[in-house]
Amino acid sequence: MRTRHMVLPLEEYARLDGFGGANDVFIRAATDLGARAVRGALRTAGLRATDVDLLLFTSVTGIATPSIDARLVGRLGLRPDIKRLPVFGLGCVAGAAGIARLHDYLRGWPDHVAVLLSVELCTLTFQRADSSPANLIATGLFGDGAAAVVACGAGRSAQGPAVVATRSHLYPDTGHAMGWEVGSSGFRVVLDPVVPELIRRNLAGDVRGFLDEHGLKTKDVTAWICHPGGPRILHTITETLDLPAGALDLTWRHLAEAGNLSSSSVLHVLRDTLARRPPPPGSHGLLLAMGPGFCCELVLLRW
């Protein structure tokens, strides 16, 4: 892990006045970064702001009412009748879950355009008075970032991979493994050492069962688009799924260059897959992430 992006200059973090001050920064910065991300995604897709029918916004590092998506409508020139869905609490899994929920929506509205926006400003959640191992690990692991995905229904022409199917799985009695403890100083991270064991115990069966429903095996997957939870997590995923050497290279690269950006990270890995290692036409990829709950989200893609 070499570099991290931070929403503020390092010296300004000491001047943040508790949860309120950090959250004020979150609202301003998330609105600015979100506008840039959505504009860029629409430009790449060759679409206008008025083409967007649904905007799903996700974050777990700040709160706002009116929500960030509402603040972006006028700023981006989105239609006043746009459907909005702000989502809080899914954490790292929300990038994959967000794509899955766009897919659900577009199956019912095949002529529509939907946008997923993720903004995660993890450095604003740092707890200066917390010397626990979880807080120290999270401080080194997490960074700040944003990402946006434009998805089109089957009734519209579009470039990029198609979503074939999705799968969600919430594991019983694992709510203690990951999340926030919310107090007067803001969000205090919860990271239980049991997380790798939960992955080892559950992920292989979920992935193989999901692929089997579509006549596929792990060897048929040409692109593994995986959330970079951390080094131990990635080693566990590689071993549990028996992935070939180099399967998670782009995930490891992202972890080194930007860290774990919570829900934004898997979307960055998807971008890098499209740009650096586009799979052959007709082949399949699997986008996966895990997060608080404890849960996993799987998205089967076809190029």
Closest to 34 in 3D by CA, of 66, 81, 70 = 70
264 near 62, Cβ under 8 Å?
no
State how far the Cα of 117 lies from the Cα of 97, in Å rounded to an integer. 12
Between CA 123 and CA 169 the distance in angstroms is 29
- Among candidates 199, 178, 175, which has minimal Cα distance to 189? 178
Here the tokens at position 293 are 């709950």
| 92: annotated active-site residue | yes
**DSSP category for residue 278:** P
Establish whether the linkage from the previous residue to 187 is cis, with ω within 30° of 0. Answer: no
The secondary structure of 73-86 as a DSSP string is HHHHT--TT-EEEE
The catalytically annotated residue of 92, 152, 226, 295 is 92
Mind telling me the catalytic residues? 92
